[in-house]
Structure 1
Amino acid sequence: MATENKGVIPVKQLKLSDAVAAQLESLIRSGHFGAEGKFPSERDLAEQFGVGRSSMREAISKLETLGIIVRSHGVGTFVLDSSEQSQISMSLLSAGEVTALELFNVRYAVEPDGAAMAANRRTAKDIQELKAILKEAAAPDISAKDFVKLDSEFHSLIAEATRNRLFIQIYKQVAPHHVIYSEKVILIQNRMALAHQGHLRILEAIIAQDEKLAKKEAYAHLKWAEKDLVKEINKLEEKKSKNKKSK
């Protein structure tokens, strides 16, 4: 007959991923991992720990949920710390209540097809309004705040031009996050000029009622924006690394 031991908590066997997550957290806290902000890849960590990729993936997801690290597709995984440079780069990876990755995922799924639909269904009034927005955005003395506002209006008008009520409702959910994200990155060097060029190419395809080209240009515009973000974050991380080494 088992003896009852009051105050003794039964030992539970940890899941492998939980054990790995606990060890990773300990190594991060001690500065062993993420000393320069960047975190090792899932594959490298799985090899170092001698565990499968799926277990390591679960462990990394747990750390992300705890707010210890942040991940972004195409950029990498970063350890969150309180340094100024890290705060800047992590800020660029967010768009309000969602991450920049989540925003780009939805924009890739929505905007290219939206541009194609707009090319097929646009009216003369749509073209007139889109042209007016881009003309205003081309003003040499335009402020970053005004450009972001016009950028949002441009994409929203393309959504309206689809004449698809459900699509319009979906984009209305995306637009506020797009604005928050744009306000954070708009001052990156040449960002406004290059964004404007992308908008012009999308509009030209819509005017020509070339659905394939409109879809292609909308996708290319997103791809450029994503690559520009990656480049800027890499610059910030490199600067942070140099600052730490000089101390």
Structure 2
Amino acid sequence: MFRPVSDRRALGERVISQIADAVIRGELRPGQRLPTERELAEQFGVSRTVVRDAIKTLSGRGMLRVRQGSGIFVSTSEERLEQELALLPLEGAGLRDLFEVRKVLEAQAAEWAAQRRSSHHVERLAQILREARGHREDPAALSERDARFHVAVAESSQNLVLVRVMLTLLDLLAASRLRSLGIPGRPQLSLEQHERVLEAIERRDPQGARRAMLFHLASVEAAIFSREGGEEG
């Protein structure tokens, strides 16, 4: 698959370029396992150190994943997204950026959920809310139900890609979600706002579901930044 490299001034860059090009062209598919370091070194005609450094660089870019004891793999789109998002600062401007993305994705998820949901989806959302009401005084347990509710809305949209993206985003926001639910009065507000989202989904009101989700996310965002601003002051 790979050609030997001969320019001794830039061996590492040439190895990186060939592997990256193979991924971009689709010759190496997401999830596909690459040859071992030794085999790659033989194919490229370079030392294993050069190959190891190239793999490290490509892993840092999110293009490859090294799994201990399993080998070197081409990253899937979900793995690349997860790695890229993990590099974002989750305070200040970085957190605001994530909320902007959430508003776009979750408003659409709520709209689609109202259009596509089944009775099973509605019951699932209602069950999560019932459980959440029983954990109002337990921020950690309530935070878990909060995340499950948002994932369940995405699942109700019946868009698998959206669900996977939401799982990654919500995992990244776990700490800020827990902080927000520690704000006095915030747990009750979130429960009430979740109920408005569910009501719109249940009555198959796409625009109502979109508005309810946007209102909820804007409310949570304002609470988080209001508290952070107060703490800084």
Band the TM-score falls in, shorter-chain normalisation: 0.5 to 0.7
Are positions 1:175 and 2:182 aligned together?
A: no
- TM-score, scaled to structure 1: 0.55
Are positions 1:153 and 2:148 aligned together?
A: yes
What's the offset of the Cα at 1:142? Answer: 4.2
CA contact (8 A) 1:112 1:219 kept: yes
Alignment of structure 1 residues 46-65 onto 2, 5 Å: none
Deviations 1:10-55 (A, max 9, x none): xxxxxxxxxxxxxxxxxxxxxxxxxxxxxxxxxxxxxxxxxxxxxx
Deviations 1:60-103 (A, max 9, x none): xxxxxxxxxxxxxxxxxxxxxxxxxxxxxxxxxx648x932132
How many equivalent residue pairs? 145
Counterpart of 1:130?
Answer: 125
Pair 1:141–1:101, CA change in 2 (3 A): closer
What's the offset of the Cα at 1:140? Answer: 6.0
SS in 2 for 1:99: helix
Are positions 1:233 and 2:228 aligned together?
A: yes
Within 2, Cα distance between the matches of 1:180 and 1:227? 16
Pick one of 187, 191, 198 that aligns with 1:203.
198
Alignment of structure 1 residues 92-131 onto 2, 5 Å: 95=90, 99-131=94-126
Letter in 2 for 1:158: V
Deviations 1:182-232 (A, max 9, x none): 123221111111111110100000001000000000000011111112221
What's the offset of the Cα at 1:181? Answer: 1.8
Within 2, Cα distance between the matches of 1:229 and 1:140? 20
Deviates more, 1:138-147 or 1:224-233: 138-147
Percent identical: 25
Are positions 1:217 and 2:206 aligned together?
A: no
Within 1, Cα distance between the matches of 2:137 and 2:157? 29
Within 2, Cα distance between the matches of 1:99 and 1:189? 25
CA contact (8 A) 1:103 1:177 kept: no
Within 2, Cα distance between the matches of 1:127 and 1:213? 15
CA contact (8 A) 1:95 1:180 kept: no
Within 1, Cα distance between the matches of 2:106 and 2:136? 29
Pair 1:189–1:224, CA change in 2 (3 A): same
CA contact (8 A) 1:152 1:178 kept: no
- TM-score, scaled to structure 2: 0.58
Letter in 1 for 2:121: D
Q: Please list every run of 5 or more consecutive structure 1 residues that lacks an aligned counterpart in the other structure.
A: 1-93, 239-247
Pair 1:155–1:141, CA change in 2 (3 A): closer
CA contact (8 A) 2:136 2:187 kept: no
Pick one of 156, 159, 166 that aligns with 1:164.
159
CA contact (8 A) 1:133 1:150 kept: yes
Are positions 1:143 and 2:138 aligned together?
A: yes
Are positions 1:189 and 2:194 aligned together?
A: no
Stretches (4+) displaced over 6 A: none
Within 1, Cα distance between the matches of 2:115 and 2:182? 34
RMSD of aligned C-alpha atoms? 2.0
What's the offset of the Cα at 1:178? Answer: 2.6
Within 1, Cα distance between the matches of 2:184 and 2:135? 15
